[in-house]
């Protein structure tokens, strides 16, 4: 006799969404009542009681969302704890932790790989992987700081740990429901402040209103994603409808398609940010002005929606992950003394961290060529006498903002397209039907850029001759 489907399966079917996705959303939403209960009953209790609450609540929710896959999180936490217990504070511990956590994650990606991205234990595992690697770095920085306070940078000094965490502390830090499923990343030094019995009383005001506001915005983005995806689904570029659509219509619809996919990520990050805000973890200390509760923000909505260059998107999208990679990968490669190698290595790390699919690697390659184009173009523009004269016009800011916004929204979906499509067999035909426009533009800069530079810098040459 077949068992009846669970209530989440029935609800997911009625909504036309995968059950795994619905469970993820509901699991993250559960963080709100859990944190409200925490603030009312447990925030002033001793640190171990708070750790126990966050460990058990997060572990139970994780089990409900991803099932037995939560054991992989436990294995990784236990393994990292043993590494810190045996050799914490040494460079060897960092190397072993990095190798072990990345290898475990990559093995999980390989084992769980499917034709489409699916929500499984690898999703929170990729967040946990960075958290555990960063934790090992912080213990190492703390050991260096004890020997020589000048051996660590200002950023490293903020996150350095003078003592290695115990297993309960690691479980609490890892399973805290505000950051377990989709992030954000937050270091243990900051988390230790949260679980201090006096922390809530020290807050300048209540963060509940801010947290619920982020939840409301999150629901708006999720609604847009669900409704819009009914018309432009994630795999639309692989459909016959896409192939038969005229090029100009594709160019108009692609930015909308891209926005609908990104809305899914924005929604979950905003939901998680709201949980972190309600806990008080997201408070950013400022000497003056109102309290800033954006310390756990993974997206800057105004900057993102008004972006006039891809650099704005990178600054405003997946902020905490980018900050983690900046602090624990890019800046740690300074000994190479080559910005391009450090940048390329960082993007390769991000691609590997996302998984095995070729679409991830091509997406970050696209980011690399776009960022280098914008750096070169901005350098030429800032030195151009002709451009400087245009800046004196009262409509300059408005016109350039409009052109920049159009530029970003035209090319963003082309650069992002391999990410959701995953496989070359999907994104190459889509790119072919679009005539590889983004590569003609960005890689073509090596050719058409010479003409653009000559035109923009022409008056510079004349001015030097006159002098």
Active-site residue set: 318, 354
Q: Give me the residues paired with residue 284 across strands.
A: 292
Q: What is the DSSP string of 346-400?
A: HHHHHHHHH-S-HHHHHHHHHHHHHHHHHHHHHHHHHH-HHHHHHTTSTTHHHHH
Largest CA distance in the chain: 93
Check if the beta carbon of residue 459 is closer than 8 Å to that of residue 386. yes
CA 456/CA 31 separation, integer angstroms: 54
- Contact, 84 vs 161, CB < 8 A? no
CA angle 441, 317, 429 (to 5 degrees): 40
In angstroms, the CA 124 to CA 182 distance is 6
Q: Give the CA distances from residue 161 to residues 141, 195, 252, in Å, rounded to whole numbers and listed in that order.
A: 7, 16, 50
| 115 cis-preceded (ω within 30 degrees of 0) | no
Helix and strand counts by DSSP (H, E) for the chain? 25, 0
**What token pair was written down for 36?**
């409200």
Number of C-beta neighbours around residue 99 at 10 A: 11
Between CA 225 and CA 54 the distance in angstroms is 31
Q: Which of 231, 38, 24 is nearest to 120 (CA)?
A: 24
């Amino acid at each position: 006799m077949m068992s009846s489907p669970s209530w989440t399966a029935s609800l997911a079917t009625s909504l036309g969404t995968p059950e795994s996705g619905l469970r993820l959303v509901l699991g993250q939403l559960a963080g709100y009542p859990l944190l409200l209960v925490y603030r009312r009953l447990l925030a002033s209790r001793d640190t171990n009681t708070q750790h126990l609450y966050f460990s058990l609540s997060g572990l139970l929710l994780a089990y409900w969302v991803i099932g037995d896959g939560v054991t992989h999180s436990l294995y990784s936490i236990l393994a990292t704890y043993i590494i810190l217990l045996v050799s914490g504070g040494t460079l060897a511990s960092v190397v072993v932790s990095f190798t072990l956590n990345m290898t475990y994650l990559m093995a999980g990606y390989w084992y769980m790989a499917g034709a489409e991205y699916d929500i499984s234990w690898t999703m929170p595992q990729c967040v946990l992987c960075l958290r555990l690697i960063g934790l090992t770095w912080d213990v190492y920085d703390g050991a260096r700081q004890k020997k020589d306070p000048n051996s660590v940078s200002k950023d490293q000094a903020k996150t350095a740990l003078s003592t290695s965490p115990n297993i309960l502390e690691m479980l609490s830090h890892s399973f805290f429901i505000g950051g377990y499923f989709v992030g954000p990343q937050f270091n243990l030094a900051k988390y230790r402040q949260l679980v201090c019995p006096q922390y809530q009383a020290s807050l300048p005001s209540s963060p509940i209103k801010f947290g619920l506001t982020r939840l409301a915005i999150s629901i708006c983005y999720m609604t847009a994603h669900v409704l819009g995806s009914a018309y432009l689904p994630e795999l639309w570029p692989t459909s016959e409808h896409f192939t038969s659509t005229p090029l100009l219509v594709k160019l108009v619809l692609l930015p909308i398609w891209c926005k609908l996919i990104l809305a899914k990520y924005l929604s979950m990050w905003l939901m998680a940010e709201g949980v972190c805000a309600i806990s008080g973890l997201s408070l950013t200390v400022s000497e003056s002005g109102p309290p800033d509760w954006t310390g756990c923000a993974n997206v800057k909505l105004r900057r993102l929606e008004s972006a006039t260059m891809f650099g704005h998107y990178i600054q405003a999208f997946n902020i905490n992950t980018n900050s983690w990679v900046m602090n624990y990968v890019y800046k740690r490669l300074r000994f190479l003394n080559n910005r391009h190698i450090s940048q390329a290595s960082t993007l390769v790390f991000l691609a590997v961290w996302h998984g095995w699919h070729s679409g991830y690697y091509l997406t970050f390659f696209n980011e690399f060529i776009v960022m280098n184009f914008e750096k070169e173009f901005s350098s030429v523009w800032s030195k151009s006498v002709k451009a400087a004269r245009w800046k004196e016009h009262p409509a300059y800011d408005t016109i350039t903002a409009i052109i920049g916004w159009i530029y970003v929204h035209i090319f963003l979906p082309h650069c992002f397209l391999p990410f959701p499509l995953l496989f070359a067999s999907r994104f190459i035909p889509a790119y072919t039907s679009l005539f590889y426009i983004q590569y003609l533009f960005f890689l073509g800069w090596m050719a058409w850029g010479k003409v653009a530079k000559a035109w923009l810098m022409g008056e510079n040459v004349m001015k030097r001759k006159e002098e």
